[in-house]
């Protein structure tokens, strides 16, 4: 299998971009990636474009976005297809791009992912996102993703003794990182006093899906991100000035569509298996990972995912958070970008956004104050559905 | 002849499935039995037994959901996951003043027209009387 | 100076209102928002704060700005009876404004809620403060409320589970046009107060001082590149 590396990254600022066209913001991020790679003029030499998006049909009343992006970038006749895998669409697009290069079918692949969610109101958006649930057994009941986030959090709390304050600590940590990230949706810190300890915290940090509060839930964001992949073994790799960041491992796994059908609903098997496969592919273990981007659409997921991929023992991750081990200068920094909580979560874009963060950190290009010291390997987990389709990625500094 | 019984009022029900070959229970309906690999034909349901999923169950977890999607004009709704005595589990609404994990409940089914489109059947888990 | 006789005829009768005791809320960012009653002589800063938003159609800012502008002007020039204006400030800078009117000892009329600084639930806090003033301080039994934007409808009608009295039109009628009238009754308020209304009293002198002089915002998230 050919070695696959990232030679260009692009990212829009996340936030409310609802006045813009989805294709435009995807093209913007992709153009950023081409410029970063010094390949803008040669873009028609790209063998394949893979676009990741979850629900442009619902949010923007638009289909076939891959064709739209190609046209906006004047890239015809480069082949382009769309990959959809719920909120893991972005990482799935990278995985398909990886497969194209590794198989030898393509040498240079542009992966673009984006989502515009804020053209509709928040509650309509919540409704659209809920369409990824089981249509009859979950969606029809009126359930939403935050609903499952709340029920999962309660199970975890009752089994392991996690508190709401522990979840607030994650928000404080992630906002501290996001405040320094030029791409983050919410570039502002929050304080433990305001969201957990103070007399007004109960109202200021209001419940969303008990016991999850507003500051344990990601915002609704728009945005796009892009990566340029190259076959590192091909002579074409020499076309790029920047040293590639190698994709050492990338794998995905699935789990039951209905959360209630999991033997132990507290176990996220798809995360564990995707992680194990990615480690095996990279020849690494959890101990080798220098930092990670974990899909904290709800803060509880940062904890649960960090346990499933072997960073911490089951039920112990929040103890490490209390000790500051996952802060930017801790033993294993997690969500250095601010995570979904602070950076934002334009559903289809998130996986590629996580990958961009891995590359920025491994290149040493993160902003001052949130650059991890000399990282070797970064891991990202992009979580689809409520854990029913998950992608894990490990990037390596060569 | 027209079957006029289709206009009769029917108690809303949510069906569970039993593979007749190996006896494994399912909710919601699968297309292949995970144990013996029997196929299910969704038109005839031949070789599959169906039964209404309802009655006594136990609350496994719950949430009070404040940000409801379009259509639900309520301050909040309670949701829960329950387990029935036969081992099947289900997700649905919860109607109790003081939810506690592990409490005994009774699963009922109502027809809901809160969202646009055809009414749908919804589980409501209530306290046993 | 004696008031002009004609002016005296034009002015509405006023019921002296109990003052709203200031409170302070620590927002998620850690910033302290002082919520207090605005004084008549501060109308200029309030109008100047609202004015730029007249040109923002997104989220109905234009209509809320236009209506609130006239409400504050009417209050300043004695053309609205028993109006009160609450303002939220962060380091003195106006973060949000609410307007309302005391109609009778039993009835309040909620006018408008304007959020300048977004993402920190400033609007939600100020709306709750306004209801607190009506029901807990002025002692009214009911407040009539209408929504002129989807955000407003979701926040007030649904989150407070307001009583829909639109079927009693025209006997029950909000003063703002003919939009359906909803009502916050005392029992409904009691049911949501703990999760909607917060704040610490008394406010420390140092915090209160930050709010002594109202400062017009120098930037608006609603107006990129705004320059005053």
Q: Does C194 contact A123 at a Cβ distance shorter than 8 Å?
A: no
Nearest-by-CA chain A residue for B123: A141
CA dist A57 and A63 (Å) reads 5
Distances from the Cα of A2 to the Cα of A6, A18, A242, A249, C220, angstroms: 13, 39, 19, 12, 51
**How is residue C223 written in tokens?**
């107006």
Q: Does C195 contact A200 at a Cβ distance shorter than 8 Å?
A: no
- Dihedral of alpha carbons A121, A15, A9, A370, sign: negative
- pLDDT tens column, B7-63: 888 899 999 999 999 999 999 999 999 999 999 998 988 889 999 999 999 999 999
CA dist A157 and A152 (Å) reads 9
- pLDDT tens column, A177-220: 999 999 999 999 999 999 999 999 999 999 999 999 999 999 99
Measure A86 CA to nearest chain C CA, in Å.
26
The two beta strands, B25-26 and B15-19, are antiparallel
Q: Does B68 contact A259 at a Cβ distance shorter than 8 Å?
A: no
Distances from the Cα of A83 to the Cα of A102, A113, A382, C179, angstroms: 18, 9, 14, 45
CA dist C131 and C138 (Å) reads 10
Rounded to 5°, angle at Cα A108 from A106 and A114: 110
Question: A79: buried, middle or exposed (CB in 10 Å: 19+, 13-18, 0-12)?
Answer: middle
Between these two residues, C131 and C152, which has the higher pLDDT value? C131
DSSP labels, B35-72: TT--B--TTT-TTEEEEE--EEEEEEEEEEE-SPPTT-
Domain of residue A82 covers 4-121+222-239
CATH number of the structural domain spanning residue A42: 3.40.47.10
Tell me, yes or no, whether A184 lies in a domain. no
**How is residue A239 written in tokens?**
């076309």
**pLDDT class for C2, splitting at 50, 70, 90?**
confident
Rounded percentage of chain C residues whose pLDDT exceeds 90: 83
Tell me, yes or no, whether A198 lies in a domain. no
Residue with tokens 């999850």: A212
Residue with tokens 């198989």: A103
CA dist A107 and A230 (Å) reads 6
Residues 79-108 of C with CB under 8 A from A: none
Residue B67: its chain A contacts at CB < 8 A? 122-123, 126, 144, 146, 208-209
Mean pLDDT of the A223-231 span? 98
pLDDT given for residue C179 in this prediction: 82
Q: Does B74 contact C161 at a Cβ distance shorter than 8 Å?
A: yes
Residue with tokens 């592990």: B102
Tell me, yes or no, whether A29 lies in a domain. yes
- Would the pLDDT of A14 be above 90? yes
Residue A150: its chain B contacts at CB < 8 A? 63-65, 79
- Would the pLDDT of A396 be above 90? yes
Q: Does A141 contact B91 at a Cβ distance shorter than 8 Å?
A: yes
| Spatial contact of A313 and A354, defined as CB atoms under 8 Å apart | no
Q: Does B66 contact C157 at a Cβ distance shorter than 8 Å?
A: no
B83-96 core/surface letters (b: 16 or more CB in 10 A; e: else) = ebeeebbbbbbbbe
Nearest-by-CA chain C residue for A123: C154
Tell me, yes or no, whether A178 lies in a domain. no
Query: Minimal CA–CA distance to C31: which of C89, C113, C85?
Result: C89
Instruction: Give the pTM.
Output: 0.94
Query: Minimal CA–CA distance to A342: which of A373, A299, A381?
Result: A299
Closest residue to A146, CB basis, from B60, B65, B112: B65
Angle between helices A350-363 and A89-102 (to 10 degrees): 70
Please tell me the total count of domains within chain A: 1
- Would the pLDDT of C178 be above 80? no
**Which of C147, C156, C159 to probe the B interface (max B CBs under 10 A)?**
C159
Mean pLDDT of the C53-76 span? 95
**How is residue C25 written in tokens?**
């809320």
Tell me, yes or no, whether A72 lies in a domain. yes
Farthest CA pair distance, chain C: 52
- Would the pLDDT of A164 be above 90? yes
The arrangement of strands across the sheet holding A245-254 comes to A80-83, A48-52, A108-115, A223-231, A4-11, A245-254, A389-397, A377-384, A291-294
Closest residue to A191, CB basis, from C30, C125, C151: C30
| Spatial contact of A339 and A221, defined as CB atoms under 8 Å apart | no
- Would the pLDDT of C135 be above 80? yes
Average pLDDT over chain A reads 97
pLDDT given for residue C1 in this prediction: 57
**How is residue B75 written in tokens?**
């301050």
Residue B27: its chain A contacts at CB < 8 A? 137
**pLDDT class for B70, splitting at 50, 70, 90?**
confident
Q: Does B75 contact C157 at a Cβ distance shorter than 8 Å?
A: no
Distances from the Cα of A269 to the Cα of A133, A340, B8, angstroms: 17, 21, 45
- pLDDT tens column, A24-69: 999 999 999 999 999 999 999 999 999 999 999 999 999 999 999 9
Rounded percentage of chain A residues whose pLDDT exceeds 90: 98
- Dihedral of alpha carbons A222, C112, C172, C177, sign: negative
Question: Would you call B10 helix, strand, or coil by DSSP?
Answer: coil
DSSP labels, B66-119: -SPPTT--SS-EEEEEEEETTS-EEEEEEE-SS--TT-EEEEEEEEE-SSSSS-
Average pLDDT over chain C reads 94
Q: Chain B residues contacting A, CB < 8 Å? A: 27-28, 60-72, 77, 79-81, 89-93, 101, 112, 114, 120-123
CA dist A266 and A186 (Å) reads 30
Flag whether residue C200 sits within 8 Å of chain A, measured between CB atoms.
Answer: yes
CA dist C55 and C64 (Å) reads 11
Tell me, yes or no, whether A387 lies in a domain. no
Could you give the domains of chain C? 19-210 (3.40.630.30)
Give the ipTM. Answer: 0.95
Nearest-by-CA chain C residue for A19: C58
Tell me, yes or no, whether A201 lies in a domain. no
Tell me, yes or no, whether A116 lies in a domain. yes
Size of interface B-C (CB pairs under 8 A): 11
Q: Does B67 contact A208 at a Cβ distance shorter than 8 Å?
A: yes
- How many Cβ atoms are within 10 Å of C4's Cβ, its own excluded? 9
CA dist A219 and B17 (Å) reads 39
Closest residue to A210, CB basis, from B64, B89, B90: B64
Q: Chain A residues contacting C, CB < 8 Å? A: 121-123, 186, 188-191, 193-195, 198-207, 214-215
Q: Does B73 contact C157 at a Cβ distance shorter than 8 Å?
A: yes
Measure A346 CA to nearest chain B CA, in Å.
18
**pLDDT class for C157, splitting at 50, 70, 90?**
confident
Q: Does C25 contact A204 at a Cβ distance shorter than 8 Å?
A: yes
């Amino acid at each position: 299998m050919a070695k696959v590396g990232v030679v260009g990254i692009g990212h829009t600022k996340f936030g409310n971009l609802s006045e813009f066209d989805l294709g435009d913001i995807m093209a913007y991020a992709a153009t950023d990636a081409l410029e970063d790679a010094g390949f803008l003029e040669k873009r028609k030499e790209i063998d394949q474009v893979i676009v990741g998006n979850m629900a442009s049909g619902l949010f923007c009343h638009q289909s076939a976005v891959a064709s739209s992006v190609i046209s906006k970038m004047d890239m015809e006749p480069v082949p382009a297809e769309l990959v959809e895998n719920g909120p893991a669409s972005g990482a799935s697009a990278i995985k398909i791009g990886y497969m194209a290069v590794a198989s030898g079918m393509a040498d240079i692949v542009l992966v673009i992912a984006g989502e515009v969610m804020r053209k509709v109101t928040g509650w309509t958006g919540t409704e659209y996102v809920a369409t990824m649930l089981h249509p009859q057994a979950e969606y029809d009941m009126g359930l939403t993703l935050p609903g499952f986030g709340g029920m999962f959090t309660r199970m975890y709390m009752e089994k392991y003794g996690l508190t709401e304050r522990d979840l607030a600590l994650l928000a404080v940590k992630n906002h501290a990182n996001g405040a320094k990230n030029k791409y983050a949706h919410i570039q502002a810190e929050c304080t433990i006093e305001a969201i957990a300890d103070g007399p007004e915290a109960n109202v200021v940090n209001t419940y969303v899906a008990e016991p999850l509060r507003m500051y344990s839930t990601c915002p609704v964001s728009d945005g796009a991100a892009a990566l340029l992949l190259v076959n590192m073994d091909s002579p074409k790799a020499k076309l790029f000035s920047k040293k590639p960041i190698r994709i050492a491992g990338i794998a995905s796994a699935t789990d039951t569509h209905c959360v209630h059908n999991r033997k132990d609903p507290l176990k996220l098997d798809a995360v564990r298996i995707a992680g194990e496969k990615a480690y095996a592919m990279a020849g690494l273990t959890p101990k080798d990972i220098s930092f990670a981007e974990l899909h904290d659409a709800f803060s509880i997921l940062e904890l649960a995912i960090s346990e499933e991929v072997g960073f911490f023992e089951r039920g112990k991750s929040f103890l490490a958070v209390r000790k500051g081990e996952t802060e930017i200068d801790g033993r294993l920094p997690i969500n250095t970008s601010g995570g979904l909580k602070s950076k934002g979560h334009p559903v289809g874009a998130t996986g590629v956004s996580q990958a961009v963060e891995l590359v920025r950190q491994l290149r040493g290009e993160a902003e001052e104050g949130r650059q991890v010291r000399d990282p070797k390997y970064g891991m990202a987990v992009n979580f689809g559905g409520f854990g029913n389709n998950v992608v894990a990625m490990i990037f390596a500094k060569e | 002849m027209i079957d006029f019984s289709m206009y009769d009022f029917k108690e809303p029900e949510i069906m569970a499935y039993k593979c007749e070959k190996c006896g494994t229970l399912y909710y919601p309906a699968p297309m292949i039995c995970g144990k013996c690999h029997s196929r299910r034909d969704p038109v005839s349901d031949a070789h599959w037994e169906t039964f209404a999923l309802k009655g006594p169950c136990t609350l496994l977890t719950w949430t009070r959901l404040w940000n409801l999607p379009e259509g639900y004009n309520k301050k909040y709704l309670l949701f829960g996951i329950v387990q029935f005595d036969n081992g099947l589990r289900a997700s649905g609404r919860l109607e109790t003043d003081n939810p506690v994990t592990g409490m005994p409940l009774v699963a009922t089914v109502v027809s809901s027209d809160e969202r646009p489109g055809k009414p749908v059947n919804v589980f409501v888990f209530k306290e046993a009387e | 100076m004696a008031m002009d006789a004609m002016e005296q005829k034009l002015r509405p009768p006023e019921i002296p209102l109990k003052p709203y005791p200031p409170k302070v809320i620590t927002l998620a960012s850690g910033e302290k928002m002082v919520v207090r009653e605005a004084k008549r002589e501060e109308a200029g800063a309030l109008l100047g704060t609202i004015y730029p938003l007249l040109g923002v159609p997104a989220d109905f800012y234009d209509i809320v700005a236009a209506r609130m502008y006239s409400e504050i002007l009417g209050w300043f020039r004695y053309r609205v009876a028993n109006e009160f204006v609450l303002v939220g400030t962060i380091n003195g800078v106006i973060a949000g404004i609410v307007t309302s009117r005391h109609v009778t000892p039993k009835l309040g009329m909620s006018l408008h809620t304007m959020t300048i600084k977004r993402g920190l639930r400033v609007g939600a806090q100020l709306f709750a403060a306004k209801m607190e003033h009506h029901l807990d301080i002025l002692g009214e039994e009911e407040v009539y409320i209408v929504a002129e934007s989807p955000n407003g409808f979701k926040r007030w009608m649904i989150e407070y589970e307001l009583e829909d009295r639109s079927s009693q039109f025209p006997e029950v009628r909000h003063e703002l046009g003919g939009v359906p009238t909803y009502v916050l009754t005392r029992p409904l308020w009691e049911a949501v107060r703990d999760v909607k209304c917060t704040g610490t009293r008394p406010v420390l002198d140092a915090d209160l001082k930050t709010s002594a002089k109202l400062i017009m915002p120098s930037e608006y998230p609603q107006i990129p590149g705004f320059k005053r």
